[in-house]
Structure 1
């Protein structure tokens, strides 16, 4: 008996020591990490070596090399390259394999057996997709808390992916994981004054659709609204400052109608657009971007527009092209996106709610008014009376962009649409967007991954919830059931979830710059949340 007690005490002591060590490491990232600068992006630090690796296609996927870690200091590797490349018979691929290695994670192996359901698979996969990275490694930036990755080629905490991942974590009661990922975003907002696309050095010039306010709303369901909104108010304000940077410039300079992510509209309203602060090819897709800009007169503008489309999350889609079938005509920065501005409306409403909890009536009223003005502007510029649908607005042509996409459902998701508009949108979804496996992103089939015939989990969720909030429960349930059936059908045949699906053929999706990815974080999250709702509704 004494020996058993001793073993239990020893085990408990080890657990206490481990927790203390984890807490210390987390605190170190919080303090030292906020002060310590991150490394340069690989295209800047490796220069000629980077260009050679990407141009010679040492790796089929351009993201592979930018995610690798030098085995020595970057300066030493560059010096070695400059010297060895002059030797006869120099082999670039061999040089890279000797001087770089991928980031290694201790990931548990998991293969579902024949009896595993898709819902069980999702719950079991969280531990496989979980990462902890508390030191900078190559382009990967340290974060204080654990996080869930999308999967496949994506080994980072991606911004808008995270919200849809969190839906599944919440469905499985993993609220600690939700909170930890949000605290990682608080950390990044303090360090970078923004939430980058993901925690990579080459993503620090752009963000993604601002779902942070929705994350706050989700966590508030478990931790309580007042506590949660107050805790994350400073983070929401930092997020708002990032997206609204330049609005004072537009107000004081009549000759300036757009700056970074803000645009002054014809009646003086300030709305948002997607942008990127760099005018070079994306490091993870350098080859593709150079090819796209090859014949352009203004290559730098093409690079900005490609990067801005990447910030939108819709990379790539006909909604950004002047010619819907030609990516070379991309013009993202000329477009005021309806979905982005609905998410900014959400953010303004969440900030106002936070100030109401703090009894700061004047500040609450300020953001309530900002949200009301934005809603009115969305109605003015994004509603198309001819198509009976919400669309993006083209700032150069000063007209609607004439593209029907699922971005047009976001005004329902945000509660901005009138009942009459919601009815028209619902009918358009039913007749034009709905297919055997759910709703398609657009009505244009051009080989881009954010176009027909592909459907994506985030857009299913937004459409289902947007329609449901206006009472179109039958249509919302139909979309949900078709999407879940598609997920389950592919799972039964492939024993995995994937990044995107062909909703027309009811099969795995395709198109885009890279191979279809397994995993997959946001598919898992949306599937879990919708499946639980379906079973509750049908009493399964």
Structure 2
């Protein structure tokens, strides 16, 4: 049944009756009657009942209002649609588009309208090695208010990166030519205040795009990865000027593998495989940087001083100690330290660890605070093990075991298999703790395990580097320490038992749950034949996303508190994806991806239970 409704009048009447807390949403927190009579001039009548249907009506009216028409036709089937179908449909047909950006004439306005940096000038930095881009953007500068285009030097030093913190801006990404017109290669942002391309977010987003059949959009992400390696020397934490010295967890070959499975274009694979090998050798395998004497890798960001992206006051608990040391007020010390009028080797070392922790993607966790650059993390070494096995696989499958890297080098699968075997042996030697059935990070400075139980212990399942026995122990003995009603937490509860109660609540620790950890766990369980466990863990996470969307006006947040099964987070940085009026245009990038990917491998009977919001603890006793 379809209703012809006056948009403004119906919207105002609905909000006046049901939005009792005035947040322009209809949620379980509102105290209205939760019963709204819908009628139109044609005599159609329906009663809309409950939070879910009322919020759907609000969303449909909000969508219609964007058309600037007085009236609209609302289909009742969109109001009563089953939750799983509605959430998945919105992600596929609406949210991905809402998160897509380009840096070009068509998209520049959306990029420079930025709530992160309140500057009268919007700076766009272009690499020294891309003259075409510099010429294009300089022409665009002339017709774009606020835009200021700056070409970067050939060599980006930590000192240079520090110097441009006074002029923070966006870094250019790839351009392409279509029908004689230059356009930006599209990318998908995480959402909310994250209005730029993030490194590891983009891999999980691409997985969601591939699941939704959007192969071209996933390939665009790969093109922007390639551009960053070719022109900035690394896949960036994000394409902002203050991330020039920082990379992200290595997932490029996983993206190549996923795309090749759907579109086995040998020329495309060759282009990207060459760049992935370049990244492996130049970013990860330089001894003394991200490669250590132990034979394993670490995160080791460059840069000087405080990370620029944090909110004011974020480091006050640390800086106060040094303000007392130098006997000057906190804000004065902060300014002098930022300006390098005061330098302190001990504080500089703290921030090396902090930037390295942010490079890991886990910003922040007590596991890595003030120690990250001293650790051969199980996370990065699992990811690099998969790089090595992925490259071996691609060479064997698509290039007859002889890949022409350049005119002087031909790589065989065996060459990369040897690398992966060495890494596997080292991981078993340094990271695997047989007595506790867990992978710990290894402190190569102290030459001992770093005893912090983190969800990264499940990365080896995803990377296929476990033995069958190790996998069984991880699932039977270790997984229960992390499993909660809505998925796995970033750490075990035990890991944070001895943390100072006055310390900041770190968002990548217990009790918070994140999409990357869930996705990598699911894939890992399936790799080793734990299909029933995988189904359970997928259900738990999708149940929580569905519950949040049903009860909170379609909210799909960045992360969850798994202790309260809520998007209401009381930790550093809050929770992105929860602030909107009437309807979310975006969801949140990797949360969207986890929903679509999870649904693609979840059994149909469990999808029926999701629509009923059946409690996972009742289903999986």
Q: Same fold (TM over 0.5)?
A: yes
Aligned-pair Cα RMSD in Å: 2.4
The offset of 1:196, in angstroms, is 0.7
- Which structure: larger Rg? 2
CA-CA distance at 1:199 after TM superposition: 1.0
Q: Quote the residue 1:165 is aligned against.
A: 205
Q: Distance in 1 between matches of 2:394 and 2:210?
A: 22
For residue 49 of structure 1, what is the aligned residue in structure 2?
A: none
Q: Report the Cα offset of residue 450 of structure 1.
A: 0.3
Deviation at 1:170, TM superposition (A): 1.1
Paired with 1:399 and 1:109, the residues of 2 have a C-alpha distance of 59
Q: Any idea what SS the aligned residue of 1:319 has?
A: coil
TM-score, with structure 2 as normaliser: 0.63
Question: Which range is displaced more, 502-511 or 383-392?
Answer: 502-511
SS in 2 for 1:189: helix
- 1:339 touches 1:408 (CA, 8 Å); kept in 2? yes
1:120 aligned to 79, 86, 89, which one? 89
* 1:533 Cα deviation from its structure 2 partner: 1.8
Question: What TM-score, normalized to structure 1?
Answer: 0.72
Is 1:524 the equivalent of 2:549?
no
Query: Deviation at 1:515?
Result: 2.3
In the alignment, which residue of structure 1 is the partner of 2:402? 360
1:407 and 1:395 map into 2 onto residues whose CA distance is 18
Provide the residue aligned with 2:231 in structure 1: 191
After superposition, the Cα gap between the structure-2 partners of 1:282 and 1:115, relative to the gap in structure 1 and judged at 3 Å, is: farther
Equivalent residue pairs, number: 410
The residue matched to 2:292 in structure 1 has which SS?
A: strand
Question: Quick check: 1:472 aligned with 2:514?
Answer: no
How far apart, CA to CA, are the structure 2 residues paired with 1:292 and 1:166? 38
Q: Give runs of aligned pairs for residues 101-500 of structure 1, distance below 5 A.
A: 114-115=79-80, 117-123=86-92, 124-134=94-104, 136=124, 139-143=169-173, 144=175, 145-224=185-264, 226-247=266-287, 259-265=288-294, 270-285=295-310, 287-288=312-313, 290-294=315-319, 295=321, 298-321=346-369, 330-356=370-396, 357-358=398-399, 359-360=401-402, 363-364=411-412, 365-443=414-492, 444-445=495-496, 447-494=505-552, 495-500=554-559
2: distance between equivalents of 1:109 and 1:368?
Answer: 55
Q: CA deviation at 1:528?
A: 0.6
Report the Cα distance in structure 1 between the residues aligned to 2:66 and 2:359, rounded to whole angstroms. Answer: 32
Is 1:209–1:313's contact at 8 Å kept on the other side of the alignment? Answer: yes
Deviation at 1:461, TM superposition (A): 0.6
SS of the residue 2:309 aligns to: helix
The question of whether the paired residues in 2 share the 8 Å contact of 1:455 and 1:503 is answered with yes
Distance 2:298 2:171 in 1: 27
Paired with 1:173 and 1:154, the residues of 2 have a C-alpha distance of 24
Write the distance in 1 (CA, Å) between the matches of 2:265 and 2:519. 22
Q: Is the 8 A contact 1:209 1:343 kept in 2?
A: yes
Q: Quote the Cα distance in structure 1 between the aligned partners of 2:374 and 2:607.
A: 49
Distance 1:466 1:412 in 2: 4
Q: 1:348 to 1:169 in 2, by over 3 A?
A: same
SS of alignment partner, residue 140 of structure 1: strand
Distance 1:211 1:428 in 2: 28
How far 1:115 sits from its partner (Å)? Answer: 4.3
* Cα distance, 1:506–1:235 mapped onto 2, change above 3 Å: same
Give the helix-richer structure, 1 or 2: 1
Change in Cα spacing, 1:347 to 1:430, as seen in structure 2 (3 Å) is: closer
Q: Give CA deviations for 1:349-397 in whole Å, capped at 9, x if unaligned.
A: 2223343333427622222211110111111111002211111101122
1:56-106 deviation per Cα after TM superposition (whole angstroms, max 9, x unaligned): xxxxxxxxxxxxxxxxxxxxxxxxxxxxxxxxxxxxxxxxxxxxxxxxxxx
Between the aligned partners of 2:204 and 2:361, the Cα distance in structure 1 is 13
SS in 2 for 1:318: coil
Deviation at 1:348, TM superposition (A): 1.5
- Residues in 1 aligned to 2:385 and 2:283: alpha-carbon distance in whole angstroms: 12
